[in-house]
């Protein structure tokens, strides 16, 4: 599956939010969307999973303009796990929530097929949540709910996975497990990640947004330069590939933060 975002321009409340944004993700690629708070990451994701129609520009999934597809057809191709997804429908158990991922594949009658059952079982297994299949989702911890929501997305058997801060509620081990799982699925993925170390670990390519514009795009080390860390994120740091192949960022002491604390009379 190939995702192409071409010259996207979005305005919200008459304010330009995204300016001529372009990006590409090839089959099986994991592309990380990074940028400071308010830079437009979630807005861009919304255009990709067809919840927000851009004022200009096109989002193509496998060459097809997503706004030229029916909502159901678009939903068969793209699954999203979103930041505010903590609001789960109450009274549903884990299996029922995961099975909601099959909805775009149902006809008018909506009866579950053998493929539906297999997809739900496989997603529960992959996400390691078979043992909580009968639990009410509202009784789960934040991290457990994240897994359920990823399982719902995988049960959909999408060609494109869109993730907004999936690892928010997860402990360190769960983060690594989930990232490994996403890589193992081989599904083309566009993921917003605030943790730059995690972004460097998970992603093949990064796209950096700043004030609604793409300011850098490409392989991890070409994007995470000291200049970008300073100018876009306002921090001093360097990214290096270590002997184990993993890119890690070393942050220097942050003079600005210390200055502010001292001005505020703290420390
Ligand atoms: N409905 C709206 N009307 C006006 N402005 C909006 C609206 N929704 C979002 N914005 C603004 O658009 C900008 C981009 O928001 P967005 O949520 O896409 O940023 P983000 O990079 O995902 O931020 P964060 O990292 O904080 O989640 C922000 O300045 C936000 O205040």
Q: Residue 180: its pLDDT value, please?
A: 87
Q: Residue 255: its pLDDT value, please?
A: 64
- Domain at 3-263: CATH code: 3.40.50.300
Q: Residue 86: its pLDDT value, please?
A: 52
Q: Residue 148: its pLDDT value, please?
A: 92
pLDDT confidence bin for 173, thresholds 50/70/90: confident
Residue 22 and residue 5 in contact, taking contact as beta carbons nearer than 8 Å: yes
Distance CA 165, CA 194 (A): 7
The three-state secondary structure class of 55 is coil
pLDDT confidence bin for 254, thresholds 50/70/90: low
Among 19-23, 193-197, 258-262, the range scoring the smallest mean pLDDT is 258-262
Mean pLDDT over all residues of the chain? 90
Strands (E) located in the chain: 3-12, 15-25, 30-34, 56-61, 64-65, 78-81, 160-164, 188-192, 205-210, 213-219, 237-241, 247-251
The CA-based diameter of the chain, rounded to the nearest angstrom, is 66
- Pick the residue with more confidence: 239 or 91? 239
Q: For the chain, what are the domain ranges?
A: 3-263
Q: Residue 106: its pLDDT value, please?
A: 78
Select from 14, 32, 39, 165 the residue to mutate for testing ligand 1; criterion: most ligand atoms less than 8 Å from CB: 39
Q: Residue 85: its pLDDT value, please?
A: 54
Select from 43, 45, 168, 199 the residue to mutate for testing ligand 1; criterion: most ligand atoms less than 8 Å from CB: 43
State pLDDT tens for residues 95-154: 999 999 998 887 655 667 888 899 999 999 999 999 999 999 989 988 888 889 999 999
pLDDT confidence bin for 89, thresholds 50/70/90: low
Select from 8, 32, 38 the residue to mutate for testing ligand 1; criterion: most ligand atoms less than 8 Å from CB: 38
Which protein residue's CA is at the shortest distance from atom 24 of ligand 1?
A: 37
Pull the structure tokens for residue 68: 């030229």
Which protein residue's CA is at the shortest distance from atom 7 of ligand 1?
A: 12
Ligand 1 atom nearest 35 alpha carbon: 21
* Spacing, Cα 17 to ligand 1 middle (Å): 7
Q: Residue 263: its pLDDT value, please?
A: 77
Mean pLDDT across 229-257: 89
Distance CA 212, CA 67 (A): 21
State pLDDT tens for residues 180-230: 889 989 999 999 999 999 999 999 999 999 999 999 999 999 999 999 999
* Spacing, Cα 38 to ligand 1 middle (Å): 5
Q: Residue 18: its pLDDT value, please?
A: 98
Q: Residue 186: its pLDDT value, please?
A: 92
* Spacing, Cα 212 to ligand 1 middle (Å): 9
219 lines ligand 1 (CB under 6 A): no
pLDDT confidence bin for 170, thresholds 50/70/90: confident
* Spacing, Cα 41 to ligand 1 middle (Å): 8
47 lines ligand 1 (CB under 6 A): no
Distance CA 74, CA 8 (A): 18
* Spacing, Cα 44 to ligand 1 middle (Å): 10
């Amino acid at each position: 599956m190939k995702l192409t975002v071409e010259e996207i321009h979005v305005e919200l409340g008459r304010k330009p939010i995204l300016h001529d944004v372009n990006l590409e993700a090839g089959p099986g690629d994991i592309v990380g969307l990074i940028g400071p708070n308010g830079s437009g990451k979630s807005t861009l994701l919304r255009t990709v999973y067809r919840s927000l129609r851009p004022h200009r520009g096109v989002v193509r999934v496998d060459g097809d303009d997503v706004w030229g597809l029916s909502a159901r057809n678009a939903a068969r191709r793209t699954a999203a796990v979103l930041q505010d997804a903590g609001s789960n429908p109450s009274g549903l158990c884990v299996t029922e929530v995961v099975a909601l991922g099959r909805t775009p594949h149902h006809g008018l009658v909506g009866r579950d097929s053998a493929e539906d059952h297999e997809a739900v079982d496989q997603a529960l297994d992959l996400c390691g949540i078979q043992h909580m299949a009968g639990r009410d989702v509202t009784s789960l911890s934040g991290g457990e709910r994240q897994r359920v929501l990823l399982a719902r997305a995988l049960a959909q058997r999408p060609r494109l996975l869109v993730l907004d801060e999936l690892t928010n509620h997860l402990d360190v081990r769960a983060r690594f497990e989930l990232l490994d799982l996403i890589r193992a699925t081989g599904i083309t993925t566009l993921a917003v990640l605030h943790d730059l170390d995690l972004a460097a670990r998970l992603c093949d390519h990064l796209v950096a947004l700043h004030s609604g514009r793409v300011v850098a795009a490409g392989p991890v080390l070409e994007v995470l330069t000291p200049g970008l860390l300073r100018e876009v994120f306002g921090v001093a740091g360097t990214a290096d590939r270590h002997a184990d192949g993993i890119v890690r960022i070393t942050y220097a002491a942050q003079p600005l933060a210390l200055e502010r604390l001292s001005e505020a009379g703290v420390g």
